[in-house]
Amino acid sequence: MISHCREVYPSEACGILAGKDGRVHKVYRMTNAENSAVSYLMDSREQLAVMKELSNQGLDITAFYHSHPYADALPSPKDIDLAFYDDPFYVIVSLAHKDPLIRAFEIKNGIVKEVEILTDS
């Protein structure tokens, strides 16, 4: 996910994290149809293909991710407005500092709550 964000810099990267029971098993790199440094829109055909694949594999969308090339890892007003799904988390990777900063959020009905990210060591 971080390498994807770095590769498309200075544009925003976007993608889907898929898995089961809140654990991520697969990263799907998506095309930012807006090719913008300040916003993203997943390519709808790619998104549909990924959702079909997830259904066939019995996986869930654990989270949607995108990068903020020049801003902190906090949801923008547009990010909040476009948070259409209640169950997946929303992960933001900030590249505004020397080291990437990754934060995850639950966004429901315009209410934003940060959630802890746990990794296997």
Burial class (CB within 10 angstroms; exposed 0-12, middle 13-18, buried 19+) of 120: exposed
Query: What's the Rg (C-alpha) of the chain?
Result: 13
CA distance 63 to 72: 19
Token output for 100: 């990437």
* Cis check: omega of the bond before 100, within 30 degrees of 0: no
The question of whether 12 is a catalytic residue gets the answer: yes
Marked catalytic residue, from 7, 12, 114, 116: 12
Query: Per the structure block, which two tokens stand in for 46?
Result: 């790619």
Active site residues: 12
